A and B are shown apart, each in its own frame.
Chain A
Amino acid sequence: MKELALKGIFFTCAFAFVLAVALIFIFVGWKAWPIVTDYGFGKFITGSVWSASKELYGILPLIVGSVIVTLGALALGTPLAVGTAVFLSEVASPKVRAVVRPAVELLAGVPSVVYGFFGIILVRAIVARFTGTLGFGAFTAWIVLGIMIVPTIAALSEDALRSIPEGIREASFAMGATRWQTIYKVVVPAAKIGIIDAIILGMGRAIGETMAVLMVVGNAPVFPQDIFSPLSTMTTQIVMDMPYAVGLHRTALFAMAAMLFVFSMLLVATVRLLSKLRD
């Protein structure tokens, strides 16, 4: 009897969650739909001018902005994160690990607005001084976002590395391999799919990150001329325009949210597919 009740409770929890996700998706899709009927999906996706005052809602520069910011952050953050994971799982003594690991976890818990504040006050000012620009742009966002995604990727990569059985390392040592050879020829390749999973989830965080990016990209909805000139991403543009958007403008924001939804679904699907490959 008790077991049945517990089962019911857990089922309800899971079901309520799935229902919530479905409802959000339906709501966003429903609110976004007029972009197809009233504006034109092609014009929305391929238009290169985002200007609410001119009723032009082309999101191509914003998609490009999101991609530039995300890929750059991954390029900076991934080596740092995987290196940290290897260090924690293979190199560090238990004493050192006991210090570094909570530090990485702490980084994951810091609210993103704090990173943004640090980014705008410190990183932006330094970039501005060295480049003679305003310091807003892709480069500053890469640094801030690169640091932000390290904990996500590091924690998941470490799990992947730790799940490699000890026997494999011992076999490698028995063949006369050094510790370094064991790490980069045996353990890391064996954990490859898990690490890629981690990177993809880090990418999800980078694409969706809003607050910190908003504070350092400069929010100009154009194709950036270089990595030190202002740009805008899909998430930041939603935040900038949300307080006053009405009518078609609001619809365009919902359509952009739907695009982000689709992006993250594709990422999750990729992770699922990779996990299947591993099994």
Chain B
Amino acid sequence: MSLILIALLGIAGCSGGKDASTKVIVSGSTTILPIAEQAAEAFVDENPDTQVLVSGLGSSAGIEAVSAGTANVGTSSRDLKPEEEELGLVDTPIAYDGIAVIVSPANPVDGLTSEQLQDIFSGKITNWSDVGGADRDIQLVNRDEASGTREAFKKIVMGDVSFDPAAAVLPGTGQVRDVVARAPGAIGYISAGFVTPRFTNVKVKAIDVDGVAPTEKNIGTSAYPVGRTLHFFTKGTPEGVTKDFIDFVLSDDVQKGVVVDAGFIPIAEGGGK
């Protein structure tokens, strides 16, 4: 029995395979996950000796992982908090993104003001009829506190006002989208890049905020009010394969390919917040 255990441990210990100098661990934001995953795939195709491991647990988890040294790159869809600024992290912005407020396609409401959004997400307004919709309860869908999307939405829309704690809290962008798509009274927020993903025909409706639609153009020019920058954080200046990977993500191929395909705005095109 113990022999088997030892053998198993031995196998587990050896399965690391490639050593640290050819391996990049990328961890963090679920918003950035599709960019990171597709970029990683293309990067490994071009550099077959390397290995890029990508995971998404939320921006805070990414920042935590890169500062603890368990990841080479921490991806984040929010800026650093004041207490995180002393961690010695180097910021490489990789794209801009808008946060779209989404409702079910069955919901007649097409737009809300920032104040209405704040009142809805703080639990002050609880019925759609108060904002020009049908007489139906509003069901809030929020993100978890590790989410950079939540942090950015909070900073831009909520200010000092707290989220309604009774809102459902879902751990990923995909889940928020899926739940809102099927619930006629629901409202949530996701990265604009996820409003019309390629692999699903379950639809959500992105509504106007302060009269501006979350189109690529409006996010790029900062006309749409709820936008943010997507970051790659590294502990110190990136070196070696990590640097190669980041340079690859910033290259025209990825910026004009993967980044645009995923619905984000390339970093070189300005705008954002």
Name, among B58, B139, B184, B185, the residue most crowded by chain A CB atoms within 10 Å (CB to CB).
Answer: B139
List residues 1-44 of chain A with CB under 8 A from any CB of chain B: 9, 13
Q: B257: shortest Cβ distance to chain A, in Å?
A: 30
Using A219-B168, A225-B166, A230-B169 as known contacts, say yes or no to A243 and B145 having CB atoms under 8 A apart: no
The yes or no answer to A133 lying at the interface (CB within 8 A) is yes
Q: B158: shortest Cβ distance to chain A, in Å?
A: 11
Which residues on the B side are within 8 Å of A240 (C-beta)? Answer: 144-146, 169, 171
Complex interface: stretch among A47-55, A77-85, A167-175: A47-55
Who on chain B is nearest to A229 by CB?
A: B166
The yes or no answer to A64 lying at the interface (CB within 8 A) is no
Which residues on the B side are within 8 Å of A133 (C-beta)? Answer: 137, 139, 183, 185
Cβ of A136 and Cβ of B168 under 8 Å apart? yes
Who on chain B is nearest to A244 by CB?
A: B60
Cβ of B166 and Cβ of A220 under 8 Å apart? yes
Q: How far is the CA of A77 from the CA of B171 in the complex (A)?
A: 28
Who on chain A is nearest to B59 by CB?
A: A244
Cβ of B185 and Cβ of A222 under 8 Å apart? no
The yes or no answer to B23 lying at the interface (CB within 8 A) is no
Q: How far is the CA of A230 from the CA of B63 in the complex (A)?
A: 29
Q: How far is the CA of A14 from the CA of B23 in the complex (A)?
A: 40
Who on chain B is nearest to A137 by CB?
A: B168
Q: How far is the CA of A133 from the CA of B140 in the complex (A)?
A: 10
Cβ of A132 and Cβ of B185 under 8 Å apart? yes
Which residues on the B side are within 8 Å of A225 (C-beta)? Answer: 166
Using A220-B166, A222-B165 as known contacts, say yes or no to A243 and B179 having CB atoms under 8 A apart: no
Q: How far is the CA of A120 from the CA of B64 in the complex (A)?
A: 29
Q: How far is the CA of A220 from the CA of B170 in the complex (A)?
A: 9
Contact among A54, A125, A218, A246 with B169 in the assembled complex (CB-CB below 8 Å): A218
The yes or no answer to A241 lying at the interface (CB within 8 A) is yes
The yes or no answer to B26 lying at the interface (CB within 8 A) is no
The yes or no answer to B195 lying at the interface (CB within 8 A) is no
The yes or no answer to B61 lying at the interface (CB within 8 A) is yes
Cβ of B144 and Cβ of A219 under 8 Å apart? yes
Contact among A51, A128, A232 with B183 in the assembled complex (CB-CB below 8 Å): A128
Since A230-B167, A240-B146 are in contact, a sample of 11 more A-B pairs with Cβ atoms closer than 8 Å, ordered by chain A residue number, is A13-B2, A132-B185, A218-B168, A219-B168, A219-B170, A229-B166, A240-B144, A240-B145, A241-B145, A243-B64, A243-B146
A-B CB proximity, top 5 nearest: A244-B60, A243-B61, A218-B168, A219-B169, A244-B146
List 20 A-B residue pairs with CB atoms under 8 Å apart, sorted by A's residue number: A13-B2, A49-B165, A132-B184, A133-B139, A134-B168, A134-B183, A136-B179, A220-B165, A220-B167, A229-B166, A230-B168, A230-B169, A241-B145, A241-B146, A243-B57, A243-B58, A244-B61, A244-B63, A244-B146, A246-B64
Residues of B within 8 A of A (CB): 1-2, 57-58, 60-61, 63-64, 136-137, 139, 141, 144-146, 162, 165-171, 175, 179, 182-186
